[in-house]
Structure 1
Amino acid sequence: MTVSRDIVILSNPALLEKVDRLRDLNIGQHVPLPQLVVVGDQSSGKSSLLESLSGIPFPKDQSLCTRHATQITSRRNSDDRVDIRINPGPHASEEHRKHVEAFHMHMSSGLEFREQFVDILKKLKKDQANERMGLRVDISTGNGAVFSEDVLKIEVQGPNEDYLTIIDVPGIFRTTTQGTTKDDMVMVKDLVKRYIRDDRTIILAVLPSNVDIATQEILELADDYDQSGERTLGVLTKPDLVLEPSAQAAVCDLVQGKKRPLALGYFLVRNRGAFSGSKEQSDLDQIFRKEPWVDLPRDRVGIPALKEQLRSLLVEITRREFPKLLQDVSNQIKECKRELNSLGPPRQDEREQRSFLSRIAETFQDRARAALAADYNADPVFGQDELRLITNVVNITNVFSDDFQQGAHSRNFENINLSVSSVAVAIPDDYDCEETPVVLMIDNLRALLQKARVDDVAPGELAELGDIIAPLPPHRTPVPRDDFAAWINDVYLQSRGLDLGTFNANLVSMAFAEQSRKWGDMTKIYMSRVIVTIHRFIAAALRSVCPEEQARRQLWSAILESLLERYKMAMAQASLLIEVEQRKQPYTLNRRFAEELSKARGYRVTELLRPKARKDGRQYGELQFMVNLDDIAKAAEGKSNVEQLQEEIHDILHAYYYLALDRFIDNVFQLAVDYCLLHGPSSPMKVFTQDWVINLESEQLELIVGETKSAKKRRSKLVKKIEDLSNALKILKT
């Protein structure tokens, strides 16, 4: 079905003009545009076809073969003018793009342009355009490329022009001649593929009628990208050279759809050849009034029928693809902006660099403060477990405290039911101690730590922290032994002197050092877990505030030494606390020590008197016992001096140990973790701050956040692409 010429021209000029204005912006390199592309082998008659369609007398001289794509646009306009420009290819450098875009040739008359076109083309090919595109002046010799990805754009406007835009690409060739190489053959084929692969392109496959169609490679390429044949229109040229009846029949079969059919079909045209002189198109088309061509459908032969069909196809594809085109441009703008945002703000000079890094530092400190305050609603990023810093540290600390309470001592104390660590509580006989809320909570915390892989240190983390942290996961901590009495006896017998009812004060120091010898390893494991957790938080927080990998990697390298130094300070503080507890003379001003020691002594006397106590009724509901005063005086008789001293040592060590343990746990958390690692002025959380950024030397600043050449180039391309696409969007919406 054909569409009236007037309908085509008058119904959609604005729509077609919009697409051509997009071509002016070179938007085709970003978004496929509706277009007609003429493709074919060299010597297939492409130049003659273009002349017939556009009225522009393309030369048939093989030395002036097409070495770049040529876009020919004709518009009906009251102004009579011709503009010739060069659009840079998709892989053009910024320098080359500016160089070719600066080219512009203008003529004030379409008639004058057509009369002088051959001379103009020779001038373009041998001088200005060649130089701009970087092509050789002489195809067979000289420096420069043989073919170019740049596009020569010829726009003809006038009151008598038909509305049509066609793109001509270099012809495919199989034999290297005139200075061409196999690489040139590949480049031309790739160029053709790039033009015909888009769904918005109508492929005008130019096929000489006097050559077996099976030998035409262009149809094979079209099949690769248009397997259904819905976008490929066959244009059969040179019918005057088909003399054999069998060959003529084969051509007729193609036009009538009997052989290798295409959805858009085939057209048979005769163009002005190199020796046709100045014959009018109507004279050339007289051939179609003769056998066997006279029997072909009139809408399938001749240039007028082809031009009408091409206009119809151009309108149809433009109408159909316009909404998709609008959406594609919008999506590309969004994608470009997203990628541009990922590069961060521009940082070409020191001011931009310092401002950029300062904003990152400010955001980092905001997240650090929120993480320390458990203000996880401050930002969605706190959905990551690694960023829930204070929660992870408290969980690790609770497990550490429980481990300490349960197993930090070397030997279990005797059960005298009055210790600071275990107050006697009435518990029902059927109560399962394993299911107490405290036990369940600790078990849950251990499961959380296992899930957070606190003890699973990655190779990269180990490379950075290996000299600071203890090996994780730790070896199994030895279970406390039950030979306390025998051990105290050995310690006493091996260290007693000339004492009379007393013992050497150093004995308590020795016993406490032995009883607390696991404190050091357990504390280092605890500190290591906290340091690994903080280290992971800082790394995760930096990833969240500085998504650009190059800048983040340089920033991490810049602060890593300070981080490690502060981890070492915290570990040294913990080591100092361990040394103070284990090496100093046991001493405390805590009144609970005297209270617990008195309770222990009273308990021992009570246990000695219990066998001699007599029931004496009830008072206030409680059973009362009577004890003879003389029995009290004799209660300790029968115990040797050594036994009494061992009990005294046990009770002193017992009362002091648990007071020291509670004090130590608090001190490790408050002085080593909270002060050195979390909130103190030398906390690693305060390494990366705005003050740190302000004090950076310009060279350091450039190293950390200075943009690489590739980033600068990418940013420049994205900015230009967004600008072009935004202008395209305005054109499409107006």
Structure 2
Amino acid sequence: MASDATTPAADGLGNQAILSKIDKLRELNVGSIIPLPQLIVVGDQSSGKSSVLEGLTGFSFPRAAGLCTRYATQITCRREDHESVSVTIIPRPQADEALKKKLRGFHRAATKLDNAALAKIFEDANKAMGIRMGTADTSATGGAFSEDILKIEICGPSQSHLTVIDVPGIFRNATPGKYYQEQGKEALLTFLCSKGLTTDDDVLLVRNMVKSYMANTRTVILAVMPCNVDIATQEIIKLAEAADPGGTRTMGVLTKPDLATEKATRGAVLDLLLGKQSNLSLGYCAVKNRGADDNESTMAQRLQSEVAFFSAPEWSSVVDRCGITSLQKRLRELLMQISKREFPNVKAEIERKLKACESDLSAMGLSRADESSQRLFLGKVASRFQMIAQSAVSGQYIGDPLFKTLPSLKLATRMMELNENFANDFWKQGHKFSIDFNGEDDSEQIYVSKTSNELYGNVDLTEYIEIENIIETEDYVCSKPSNRPLMEHVKEVYAMNRGPEIGTFGGTILGMVFEEQSEKWDALVLSHTSKAVVLVHDFITQLLAKLCPDEQVWEQLWQLLLVDRLRSAYQRAMDHARFLLAVERSGRPTTFNHYFNSTLQKKRADRLAKGLDKIQTVASNSDPTEALWYRIDSVKNHFVAKDNTEQICEDIVDTLASYYKVARKRFVDTICQQAINHYLLDGEGSPLKILGPDLVMSLSAKQLDLIAGEDAASRRHREVLSRERDSLRAAKKVLRE
């Protein structure tokens, strides 16, 4: 290839460095992870693609049939002091390590290569890639096409930096070798085998390969088409339009202009070169191919023939778009332009992809191929679970970033909200009959929650099927206390259950009226404990999902190890709540709290005070509005006439009211402290302490493999991530050079 003195900027040292780095990124298979700036040459079979590439690179491709059209070929021209040609293979990204090592070991180099030597190199490359060249080829292990890339580096003092990628030509029909074999046409079959048999799968593979290269948004598409066909019907143009709807990165290359003998055909070609009837921003160029039977002419002779052809008057208006030299110049400028523009984006995308890849691998943990690695993996999960659970229960949310990204893990806050609502319901309407405390409870204030309703809203008791038979799934809405006077109810109970006592009442009477007064407690407590169970279960479920992103590990860990143990822990909490209800409501009313007696005495004093208005008062010596004075003997002789039943029932009401107040406060604290805090949060049998290092250490080798062993899909995913990580790390090193 002759040097082009008109484009010195494209060959500057800075530009050369950018292009060289992009080439190295491509060698590392970074192009399969992120789009890289590149030029690709696409076209139908027999469209003149090889001749265009030969003109662009100065590299004479071997003429042997089927040797250089079976895979993508990356051709890099580089300016060096000495001439050399180097041929290597870039393995496909999904190749295993053994195949990668084999393919990377392929290397052929020389100063100059003739056609026979080149044909031998391509044949060796085909064998290395396992390409099937025909039915007689028993050594091949693959298909007729490969996703490996053949890399050709051409260096010399006359070269300018240019990298183009040639992909196999589009074809529509598979070689009908099977049909002819069945017909016994051995001579024709032998001919077809020498060409290389192809199947319908090969047709699809090539089409998908071409489409994947064209879909790269940083790719300039060189769509090669012969002049002697209707351009509008060319499939390669349709594929280019699908990949590049705006036509901003597609250039048409028209070949074989000497075969466009009809005036109308040449007119259509000239219109395209002039930009008429074309939606391609990069336009069209025309080049003249070497003749089909021309195997002898040199590159210089080809250029001379091309210059002579396009010197005809009819091409004068488009001479700047004719010839291989003009195409070379345009492509170097395009490649440099897109490379300089996209290079910062490529660097940033490599950084983002590497971080994401390392994050995914970190989430998967170390490889879990044996018992030791499996136990280590689960041990780390259990330790992290315990650390976060302890922080969640104690409210130390600053210790782990998970609390910021997933605020619903703030278990202490959510549980405090739940307990406050429970205490409020008990205080406001947990009693069956209204009790008049005559204002002595004015000092009691309702809890006012400051938490967010959006974050800590209603608890869905039906969310988790696995615990539905343990908890109460119907949300209990506590009704307001009855407006019926408590005295009337107590009189009825006393009338039906009075004993032989005179002036007093038996202990069973108080127990009976207390049990009725507290009949809402069962539903309130069981509903509250159920909600607390759901909060804990929700916390465990969400946290495990974060710590075990591998769905297979999560499923096995949950089903084989945790769910039954969790159900038992929840059952213990519910059973204890029922036990506390039975003790408090069904047992003999008992308290040693002095507050009970103080309240009772106050209530009796209040009843006495209500009758003082019937006693004659003595005016004060000073202002009579300031106070009322009673004679001591008048107070001593004061009494209210009541029958025995009324007096006893008043005593029952006063005693019940005083005891209920003490019992309510005691019971709310007991439920929250024991059934919730101990059984669900802090106790040794808490569900939050089930998944711990001790449990992991107790697992057998079989259990470990069932839970933490990697399945085939996980191993493949890890291998893909590891390959991408290694490629991206190597890419970062290239970018730093």
Question: Which of the five TM-score ranges fits, normalised by the shorter chain?
Answer: 0.7 to 0.9
Instruction: Give the CA deviation at 1:423.
Output: 1.6
Instruction: Give the CA deviation at 1:88.
Output: 3.1
Match of 2:194 in 1: none
2:698 to 695, 700, 722: 695
Whichever residue aligns with residue 566 of structure 1, its letter is A
Instruction: Give the CA deviation at 1:354.
Output: 3.3
Instruction: Give the CA deviation at 1:625.
Output: 0.4
Instruction: Give the CA deviation at 1:719.
Output: 2.3
Instruction: Give the CA deviation at 1:232.
Output: 3.5
2:144 to 139, 143, 146: 146
**1:177-188 paired onto structure 2 within 5 Å:** 177-179=175-177, 180-188=198-206
CA distance in 1, matches of 2:51, 2:38: 20
**1:716-727 paired onto structure 2 within 5 Å:** 716-727=719-730
**Preserved contact between residue 139 and residue 146 of structure 1 (Cα < 8 Å):** no
CA distance in 1, matches of 2:9, 2:473: 83
CA distance in 2, matches of 1:240, 1:17: 37
CA distance in 2, matches of 1:79, 1:181: 43
CA distance in 2, matches of 1:363, 1:261: 59
**Preserved contact between residue 73 and residue 155 of structure 1 (Cα < 8 Å):** yes
What is the SS of the residue equivalent to 1:332?
A: helix
Match of 2:122 in 1: 121
1:532 matched to 2:534: yes
What is the SS of the residue equivalent to 1:468?
A: coil
Match of 1:569 in 2: 572
1:486 matched to 2:488: yes
CA distance in 2, matches of 1:542, 1:618: 80
CA distance in 1, matches of 2:231, 2:593: 106
2:414 to 392, 397, 419: 392
Q: Note closer, same or farther for the CA distance 1:451–1:60 as it changes in structure 2 (3 Å cut).
A: closer
Of residues 680-689 and 372-381 in structure 1, the stretch that sits farther from structure 2 once superposed is 372-381
Instruction: Give the CA deviation at 1:691.
Output: 2.9
CA distance in 2, matches of 1:25, 1:265: 32
CA distance in 2, matches of 1:107, 1:451: 68
CA distance in 1, matches of 2:454, 2:214: 57
1:236 to 231, 244, 254: 254
2:463 to 457, 460, 465: 460
Whichever residue aligns with residue 562 of structure 2, its letter is I
Match of 2:379 in 1: 358
Q: Note closer, same or farther for the CA distance 1:612–1:358 as it changes in structure 2 (3 Å cut).
A: same
CA distance in 2, matches of 1:365, 1:144: 51
CA distance in 1, matches of 2:417, 2:116: 88
1:423 matched to 2:427: no
2:89 to 86, 92, 104: 86
What is the SS of the residue equivalent to 1:635?
A: coil
**1:145-544 paired onto structure 2 within 5 Å:** 145-157=143-155, 163-179=161-177, 180-227=198-245, 229-257=247-275, 260=278, 263-284=281-302, 285-286=304-305, 288-289=307-308, 293=312, 296-297=315-316, 299-383=320-404, 386-413=408-435, 415=436, 417=438, 422-423=439-440, 438-439=445-446, 441-442=447-448, 452-457=456-461, 459-461=462-464, 463-477=465-479, 479-543=481-545
Instruction: Give the CA deviation at 1:104.
Output: 0.5
Instruction: Give the CA deviation at 1:254.
Output: 4.3
What is the SS of the residue equivalent to 2:150?
A: strand
**Preserved contact between residue 89 and residue 107 of structure 2 (Cα < 8 Å):** no
CA distance in 2, matches of 1:137, 1:51: 30
Q: Note closer, same or farther for the CA distance 1:648–1:268 as it changes in structure 2 (3 Å cut).
A: closer
Instruction: Give the CA deviation at 1:474.
Output: 0.8
Q: Note closer, same or farther for the CA distance 1:259–1:472 as it changes in structure 2 (3 Å cut).
A: closer
**Preserved contact between residue 430 and residue 478 of structure 2 (Cα < 8 Å):** no
CA distance in 2, matches of 1:671, 1:246: 96
Q: Note closer, same or farther for the CA distance 1:369–1:479 as it changes in structure 2 (3 Å cut).
A: same
Instruction: Give the CA deviation at 1:252.
Output: 4.4
Q: Note closer, same or farther for the CA distance 1:703–1:214 as it changes in structure 2 (3 Å cut).
A: same
CA distance in 2, matches of 1:68, 1:590: 91
Q: Note closer, same or farther for the CA distance 1:719–1:572 as it changes in structure 2 (3 Å cut).
A: same
Whichever residue aligns with residue 363 of structure 1, its letter is R
**Preserved contact between residue 87 and residue 100 of structure 1 (Cα < 8 Å):** no
CA distance in 2, matches of 1:667, 1:262: 80
CA distance in 1, matches of 2:407, 2:9: 66
What is the SS of the residue equivalent to 1:235?
A: strand
Q: Note closer, same or farther for the CA distance 1:108–1:677 as it changes in structure 2 (3 Å cut).
A: same
User: TM-score by structure 2 length?
Assistant: 0.84
CA distance in 1, matches of 2:334, 2:541: 58
Whichever residue aligns with residue 197 of structure 1, its letter is A
What is the SS of the residue equivalent to 1:537?
A: helix
CA distance in 1, matches of 2:709, 2:553: 8
CA distance in 2, matches of 1:588, 1:262: 93
Q: Note closer, same or farther for the CA distance 1:455–1:239 as it changes in structure 2 (3 Å cut).
A: closer
Match of 1:45 in 2: 48
Of residues 66-75 and 279-288 in structure 1, the stretch that sits farther from structure 2 once superposed is 279-288
**Preserved contact between residue 368 and residue 710 of structure 2 (Cα < 8 Å):** yes
1:729 matched to 2:727: no
**Preserved contact between residue 129 and residue 148 of structure 2 (Cα < 8 Å):** no
Match of 1:428 in 2: none
**1:595-634 paired onto structure 2 within 5 Å:** 595-608=598-611, 610-615=613-618, 617=620, 622-628=627-633, 632=636
**Preserved contact between residue 87 and residue 150 of structure 2 (Cα < 8 Å):** yes
1:709 matched to 2:707: no
Structure 2 unmatched ranges of 5 or more: 178-197
**Aligned sequence identity (%):** 36
CA distance in 2, matches of 1:107, 1:21: 18
CA distance in 1, matches of 2:514, 2:495: 16
1:33 to 29, 36, 39: 36
**Preserved contact between residue 470 and residue 528 of structure 1 (Cα < 8 Å):** yes
Instruction: Give the CA deviation at 1:25.
Output: 2.0
* Deviation digits for residues 593-640 of structure 1 (CA, Å, limit 9, x no counterpart): 4444444445445545652444264699642201537x846836x533
User: TM-score by structure 1 length?
Assistant: 0.84
CA distance in 1, matches of 2:658, 2:513: 13
Whichever residue aligns with residue 206 of structure 1, its letter is V
The RMSD of aligned alpha carbons is: 3.8
Whichever residue aligns with residue 527 of structure 1, its letter is T
CA distance in 2, matches of 1:302, 1:72: 20
Q: Note closer, same or farther for the CA distance 1:322–1:293 as it changes in structure 2 (3 Å cut).
A: farther
CA distance in 1, matches of 2:437, 2:245: 92
What count of residue pairs does the alignment treat as equivalent? 707
Whichever residue aligns with residue 465 of structure 1, its letter is I
Q: Note closer, same or farther for the CA distance 1:239–1:578 as it changes in structure 2 (3 Å cut).
A: closer
